[in-house]
Amino acid sequence: MNTPLTEPTSDQFEDVNCYHCGESAHTFLLTGQDDLTGKPGNFTYVTCDGCGLVYQTPRLKIEHIGDWYDDDYIAHRRKKNWGILTKFYQRGMDKHDREKDKLISRYITLNSDSRVLDVGSGSGSFLQRLRQQYNCSAGGIDFKDLSDLPFYEGVDFHQGLFYEAPHEDNSYDLVTMWHFLEHDYDPVQTLETAARTLKPDGRLVVEVPRLDCVTYKLFGNRWPGVQAPQHTVLYSKEMLTKFAERSGLEVVDYLPWGAFPAYFYLFAGTVFLFFRGRGLNLQKAIYPYALGQLLLSPILLFEKRLNLSMQTIICKPRS
């Protein structure tokens, strides 16, 4: 892990047709770089001529994408933080997991009989919070083996792809995908698997960056939601809704915000504009990050109404 990557060669890429309508004709939209960690490479995002979906093509073949998820990758960052583990059980969870919990609690009441699955479960801290709060049974799935991370204690972890994993139909009360679907190589199959494995009154909660938002207009190809090459699809509200509806799901609610802080996109987009693909050093950035947050706090009070960066769709299986 953390070996310096060289620029990917053309044989590591594959062309893909539109994930929604299957059309191969498309129009160039932007070139993305790995602005978050500064790894080399230029990645092409296009708009489908058939339906308007924005997606990456060519994309890295799935056997190569794992190299782009190393220890620096933000969802797995907690791996380094063994030191805070003891405090974790006393203090409860950090703000991000609290926000996720608050969000799902608008739509479902969990208890000791509930079964929850988090797809793309990363550090596992969200699942551990749900176990602590509701005594529910929690499962996680990720394409990297994260089962030795401390937050997975008591969590049923499966390494692999969601749609290839053995899940029984009608078995989950809640399936969550926090910033997973925009990484997915087959979002329709993923959403169909969610529809099939949810109980009839179960809920699916999907949070992804929103393409038709304020920060994309501000930052363009330096928008943090591009996050090349990991992000395969950049969803607008319209396209996210279409994906859910075609996959056997009924939309219960739509939110122009999510549990992930909108401010991160304002800050990171500004940094990415200046550093242009050389990466963001989070340790050095922590003081400017805090200062910017303080200065923007009057605006951020209204972040749920401003369509700054995120979106969340809440669905149930279509009956």
Instruction: Enumerate binding residues for Zn ion (CB under 5 A).
Output: 18, 20-21, 23, 48, 50-51, 53
Nearest distance, CB of residue 216 and Zn ion, angstroms: 19
Tell me whether residue 130 or residue 191 sits nearer to Zn ion (CB atom): 191
Tell me whether residue 53 or residue 271 sits nearer to Zn ion (CB atom): 53
Tell me whether residue 21 or residue 214 sits nearer to Zn ion (CB atom): 21
Structure tokens at 249: 């799901």
Do the beta carbons of residue 7 and residue 41 sit within 8 Å?
yes
Nearest distance, CB of residue 111 and Zn ion, angstroms: 41
Tell me whether residue 48 or residue 141 sits nearer to Zn ion (CB atom): 48
The residue assigned the tokens 């004709």 is 25
Nearest distance, CB of residue 27 and Zn ion, angstroms: 11
Q: How far is the C-alpha of 304 from the C-alpha of 306, rounded, in Å?
A: 6
Do the beta carbons of residue 181 and residue 190 sit within 8 Å?
yes
Nearest distance, CB of residue 192 and Zn ion, angstroms: 18
Tell me whether residue 22 or residue 66 sits nearer to Zn ion (CB atom): 22
Alpha carbon 44 to chain centroid, angstroms: 20
Do the beta carbons of residue 183 and residue 120 sit within 8 Å?
yes
Tell me whether residue 23 or residue 169 sits nearer to Zn ion (CB atom): 23
Do the beta carbons of residue 140 and residue 116 sit within 8 Å?
no
User: What is the sign of the dihedral through the CA atoms of 140, 61, 207 and 162?
Assistant: negative
Nearest distance, CB of residue 20 and Zn ion, angstroms: 5
Nearest distance, CB of residue 187 and Zn ion, angstroms: 12
Q: Residue 269 corresponds to which amino acid?
A: G
Give CA angle at 115 (112, 121), nearest 5°.
120
What are the backbone angles phi and psi of residue 42, rounded to the nearest 5°?
-120, 135
